[in-house]
Amino acid sequence: MSTPAAEGFFMPAEWAPHTRCWMAWPVRAETFPNGLPAARNAYAEVAKAIAQFEPVTMLCPDGEIADVSIACGPGVSVLPLPCSDSWLRDNAPSFLVNGKGDVAGVHWGFNAWGRNYEDFQPDTQVGRLILENQGLKRFAAPLVMEGGSFHVDGEGTLLTTEECLLNPNRNPHLSRAQIEAELAAHLGVRQFIWLAKGYEEDETDGHIDEIAAFVKPGVVLTMVTDDTSDPNYEVFQDNVARLRAAKDAAGRELEVVTLRTPARQEQNGVRLTLSYTNFYMANGGIVMPQFEDPMDGEAVSLFGKLFPDRTIIPVPALDIVRGGGGIHCITQQQPAG
């Protein structure tokens, strides 16, 4: 069976032009401790912010089309499609381009982050259904993989964590080298930068979008903390060291930009993964999280410097984070052909 890379496809960087953004309406009440209404309001605010820059398509159950349309407003189209969770970064397809105007997608295996819950079967088909809706070629990958577990720079470099991709609850039969080979074949990458661990108590087992992100070629933004008593302190220091020692696929040493995490917050005794790297890069804009924390202002200021040609839109994100993710986790960009 032919692979995307063999056919000239690769995954572009998130700053490449988009055709649209995909999201999914929250439907699992048990996911959101503050209730579905609060989560849905937060998702709608993210959708409306992104819709200022590019079209947004929101997946939802058949019976909720009218309510979702009213909540999200103009600029957000609604598509009835069965799914049991709303973290579309992780079960939507990873879209590919080939430089000739063609767009395709990788449909990964999905097992609810190592079977965090069991009623995930509808989510295993979301990638296929989105690609069929768009009339795009589908490449079925022989990997359990979530889109939030890796970042690419569009030039051949992939950034990820050992904690997630080497976790035995995903692909226990595959070695690191075999996982790299599959990612190279399906995303068109050739250089891998492995960080060790992710954010403390991240139920995704260390997704990269909670701790680091490419912001432009050769530049990575990563989270740090000054609190030496924080369990994240040594993890984040190791991440910075690995990034500074790494080179990308073009042979460049990385410029590493650091940003401090907000103060610790908990939900039912579990730490919330408050991370500014969990943002969405839209056409001409950045939709970034706010956590009702003094660090919010510093983060907005830094993003203004990192993205001088984009409009920065801060959006309250606590009601998303309480469900276990962030703005990047609930969105998936479809690149322009």
pLDDT digits (tens, 9 = 90+) for 66-114: 999 999 998 899 999 988 889 999 999 999 999 899 999 999 999 999 9
Give Dmax (Cα) for the chain: 52
The answer to whether 91 and 127 are in contact (CB under 8 A) is: yes
pLDDT in tens, 139-160: 999 999 999 999 999 999 999 9
pLDDT in tens, 108-133: 999 999 999 898 999 999 999 999 99
Q: What is the average per-residue pLDDT within 186-202? A: 97
pTM beyond 0.95, yes or no: yes
DSSP 105-164: EEEEE--HHHHSSS--GGGGGHHHHHHHHHT-EEEEEEEE--GGGEEE-SSSEEEEEHHH
* pLDDT band per the 50, 70, 90 thresholds, residue 51: very high
Above 80 in pLDDT, residue 1? no
pLDDT in tens, 6-32: 999 999 999 999 999 999 999 999 999
* pLDDT more than 70, % of the chain: 100
Give CA–CA dist 23/150, Å, rounded: 18
Residue 60 annotated among the catalytic residues of the structure: no
Question: How many other β-carbons are positioned within 10 Å of the β-carbon of residue 138?
Answer: 16
**Closest to 76 in 3D by CA, of 47, 49, 37:** 47
Give CA–CA dist 94/59, Å, rounded: 16
Q: What is the average per-residue pLDDT within 213-235? A: 97
Domains of the chain: 5-335 (3.75.10.10)
Residue 10: half-sphere exposure toward Cβ, Cα within 13 Å: 19
**Closest to 329 in 3D by CA, of 1, 103, 24, 61:** 24
Give CA–CA dist 208/148, Å, rounded: 6
**How far from chain centre, in Å, is Cα 65?**
25
The answer to whether 51 and 75 are in contact (CB under 8 A) is: yes
Q: Which of 21, 60, 83, 329 is catalytic?
A: 329
